[in-house]
Amino acid sequence: MPEPVVNVAIHVMTPADYDSVRLLLESIPGLTVRAADSREATERYLGRNPGLSFVARSGDRVVGCVMCSHDGRRGYLQHLAVEPEVRRQGIGTALVTRCLEALRGLGIEKTHIDVLAENGLAQEYWANSGWKRRTDIVRYSFTNSTDPNV
């Protein structure tokens, strides 16, 4: 893995990181931020999945993040994001590795990530990182709200 040009430290994500993470997520083309990414929902998510989500900091600036959860059997990653100007330095890989290590410590050895069909850059990243594209399943979603942006 290449050495980062910027001095980056990986930390467990906390609710105090919300504003910085939200700004980062909103700045990434191809990444969708929805009502389900509200402060309250994110705090609930972090509380249900302690020590599984991470941020990458360069000084006081959040330059990367990833959210991670599990259902007791499988792990799930959401919102891997790295600022474009510091990409290709191993930051995304370091974030994902921390999640996978934390999940493995809980006995969870298979992890999934959903990628939007039109996000070719993300699909390329995951394919080049050794993740296998599934062709044997189709995901269905149900929205139990009148808000279509959840």
Q: What is the pLDDT of residue 6?
A: 62
Beta bridge partner(s), residue 81? 65
Which pTM was predicted? 0.90
31 φ, ψ (degrees, to nearest 5): -105, 125
Q: What is the pLDDT of residue 1?
A: 42
Q: What is the pLDDT of residue 107?
A: 97
The one-character DSSP state at 98 is H
The residue ranges of DSSP E strands in the chain, in sequence order, are 9-12, 54-58, 61-70, 75-82, 111-113
Residues in the chain, pLDDT under 70: 1-6
The tens digit of pLDDT for each residue in 111-138 reads 999 998 998 999 999 999 999 999 999 9
Beta bridge partner(s), residue 76? 69, 112
Domains and CATH numbers, the chain: 9-128 (3.40.630.30)
